[in-house]
Structure 1
Amino acid sequence: MDVSRQTIDAENTHGSPRRFVFGLLDQFSMLSFASALEGLRIANRMSGKTLYTWLLASENGACIRCSANTEFQVDCGFDEMRRDDTILVCAGIDVQKASNKKVLNWLRREARRGAKIGGLCTGAFTLAKAGLLDGKRATIHWENQDSFLEEFEDIELTKSVFVIDGNRYTTAGGTSSIDLILKLIADDHGEELANAVADQLIYSSIRTDQDTQRLSIPTRIGVRHPKLSMVIKMMEENIEEPISPSILSRDVGMSTRQLERLFRRYLNRSPKRYYMELRLQKARNLLMQTDMSVINVALACGFASPSHFSKCYRSHYSTTPYRERGAQATRLSF
């Protein structure tokens, strides 16, 4: 798939167009990339001027594939860019493998030269690995939050759809790229143009950096029951040190038996089983996305015994944590 760069209009009455460089990493998210690019294209169309131009770059200047296995031609490699460029790193699955030494050195060099740099979807991991988010606020896709927190303790991770902290931008993935680009368009050329772009995108609810990325608990589970939502929220916030069903039920003002019936009725499982699935889901994310030892993963997910962790993991995922880690290492080696 060929996405050609926009021709620069030297007669632009707003001065030189702002240029974006999309640094495409292997297996990048097409949705996150396309959402950002389309916003820029439509801004040009709605204004009748070339306000924005763009380049597509890959590590070696060669064609690159997104996570949907579609191939993109690019304009250049990870070369020296202009000082006033805005670089957006587009990443997706297997971002750890894609964030290699050459990519990190390129970003560090461009940061020293003063470029504005952002990460779309899991691109925040790449920026963090390069040391470009130290001491800053950032966000990343909710599925990668646990592993990000374990690896980058000096970064203030939020659950926002996007974060702008100085000359660093991060988004949560998916359509959150639209929200970031609309914010940049509004800052550059006013709210009216940003709203016109949103209208063209049939994007009826523009989110800000105060909006969180995940659906509310009632929406996620398809059940609107306030006490059930409260219990699930407590479970999600206490993975490392699980709370007993008796305390959970007491805190929401019901008996343990009533809590059991509530979970059976709406979720077709016991509170204990639901809690276990939450903990195992986090464990799987940590195994797949970090280099944490299996023992430390077990402890981070509330398992005092590695053998108990392995038994529960095998029962749920039909494989052991060690085999899961080995399978992931094999995938990343190709």
Structure 2
Amino acid sequence: MEKQANTTLDTAKDVVTFDVVLSENFVMMELSGIVDVLRIANRVLSFEKFKWKFCSEDGGRVTSSIGAYVETEVIAENPRPDHVVFIGSADPFYMSLDVEKFAARYRHGGALVILLAEAASRYISSNQDNAILHTTHWENRALLEEEQGIYGIRSSLAVTQDQVITSAGMGATADIALALLGRYVSSAKLMIVSKIILHDRIRAFDTLQPEILATLNTDARILNKAVKIMQENIEEPVTMTDLAKSIGRTPRWLERNFKSLTGCSPGRYYRELRLSHAHNLLLNTNMSIQEVALACGYQSGFSVAYRQSFGQTPHQVRRAQIDKM
């Protein structure tokens, strides 16, 4: 049974506990996004309202993707924190811990389970029938679609389903931490913490992962529709004429307004979007270079376009990946 959030005043001395579960090669930004928010909240409250400990499957030293490390405890057999945050590996090839197994262990103890980015992806992979009820970082979502054929994953920053929050992680981690904080501190104190970390607004969970422009401007909303169409048609690119027609505008309007608001033409943006997807697939999947090219809408000319964008050929990037293994 899920523990109910304590909504008492800032002066309540009830301690709120967190286990932070780390995988080898974890993302430091996500660790900081959770722990620093809690640390600053304690400072603002002038007492230790929030406590946390670092855990891993085997305990001991766990190293981040930037080389910094954290000493951890072994995950308890019957853990009882109020919350547990799983931070996955920055390397999708790394055989990380069984997120489904350990999330179930924490849920049994009543904890609210928060899964960030790669950890959320592993959970979704183990719960494919319920993929539409969860989210993960857009790069991870693309990999799940390409490698496992899992579609329908949400594009929002975070989704709450029963005792589990799946999320995009990365920069959105601070939004999630602040949202959790809001269950235990007043709005005034929450605003102070937010301002200290220079977070000008706390994004709601249903906020979509960033598109080209976060604005209420009508033209920008129309252009975001164009970007969404681009994102949904990576493998079979649409022409700029068809794209303009899809958003109810002329090709000239699309070209002029897109460049005015983004600094580049829609054609160039579309090309870079496809090549960025190709780069992600080259680094994080075992797909052949030909398969990557086709998945990104290139029947020919892929190597030349890729080299112009990234300064290396796809073969050079793939060889470098092999040499790391």
Identify the match of residue 32 of structure 1 among 12, 16, 30: 30
Does the aligned pair in 2 maintain the 1:142–1:214 contact within 8 Å?
no
Aligned to 1:234: 229
Shift of 1:72: 2.4
Q: For the structure 1 residues 30 and 309, does the alpha-carbon distance in structure 2 shift closer, same or farther, using more than 3 Å as the test?
A: same
Please give the alpha-carbon distance, in whole angstroms, between the structure 1 residues aligned to 2:251 and 2:237: 18
Shift of 1:214: 1.4
Q: What count of residue pairs does the alignment treat as equivalent? A: 312
- Code of the residue aligned with 2:140 in structure 1: it is N
SS at match of 1:42: helix
CA RMSD of aligned residues (A): 3.8
Shift of 1:112: 5.2
- Code of the residue aligned with 1:286 in structure 2: it is L
User: What's the TM-score, normalizing by structure 2?
Assistant: 0.75
The question of 1:86 aligning with 2:83 is answered yes
- Code of the residue aligned with 2:279 in structure 1: it is R
Aligned to 1:54: 52
Shift of 1:55: 0.6
Any residues of structure 2 matched to 1:146-295 within 5 Å, and which? 146-151=142-147, 156-217=152-213, 231-251=226-246, 253-254=249-250, 272-295=267-290
Structure 2 stretches of 5 or more lacking a match? 1-9
Aligned to 2:292: 297
The question of 1:143 aligning with 2:139 is answered yes
SS at match of 1:157: coil
- Code of the residue aligned with 1:164 in structure 2: it is T
Q: For the structure 1 residues 276 and 17, does the alpha-carbon distance in structure 2 shift closer, same or farther, using more than 3 Å as the test?
A: same
Q: For the structure 1 residues 151 and 87, does the alpha-carbon distance in structure 2 shift closer, same or farther, using more than 3 Å as the test?
A: farther
SS at match of 1:31: helix
Please give the alpha-carbon distance, in whole angstroms, between the structure 1 residues aligned to 2:89 and 2:21: 12
Shift of 1:56: 0.8
Aligned to 1:324: 317
- Code of the residue aligned with 1:172 in structure 2: it is A
- Code of the residue aligned with 1:77 in structure 2: it is V
Please give the alpha-carbon distance, in whole angstroms, between the structure 1 residues aligned to 2:44 and 2:119: 29
Q: For the structure 1 residues 240 and 52, does the alpha-carbon distance in structure 2 shift closer, same or farther, using more than 3 Å as the test?
A: same
Does the aligned pair in 1 maintain the 2:65–2:90 contact within 8 Å?
yes
- Code of the residue aligned with 1:30 in structure 2: it is M
Does the aligned pair in 2 maintain the 1:108–1:132 contact within 8 Å?
no
Please give the alpha-carbon distance, in whole angstroms, between the structure 1 residues aligned to 2:62 and 2:194: 29
Please give the alpha-carbon distance, in whole angstroms, between the structure 2 residues aligned to 1:122 and 1:174: 10
Does the aligned pair in 1 maintain the 2:23–2:97 contact within 8 Å?
no
Aligned to 2:96: 99
Q: For the structure 1 residues 255 and 57, does the alpha-carbon distance in structure 2 shift closer, same or farther, using more than 3 Å as the test?
A: closer
Please give the alpha-carbon distance, in whole angstroms, between the structure 2 residues aligned to 1:265 and 1:205: 26
Structure 1 stretches of 5 or more lacking a match? 1-11
Q: For the structure 1 residues 169 and 232, does the alpha-carbon distance in structure 2 shift closer, same or farther, using more than 3 Å as the test?
A: closer
- Aligned-residue identity in percent: 30
Please give the alpha-carbon distance, in whole angstroms, between the structure 2 residues aligned to 1:264 and 1:193: 41
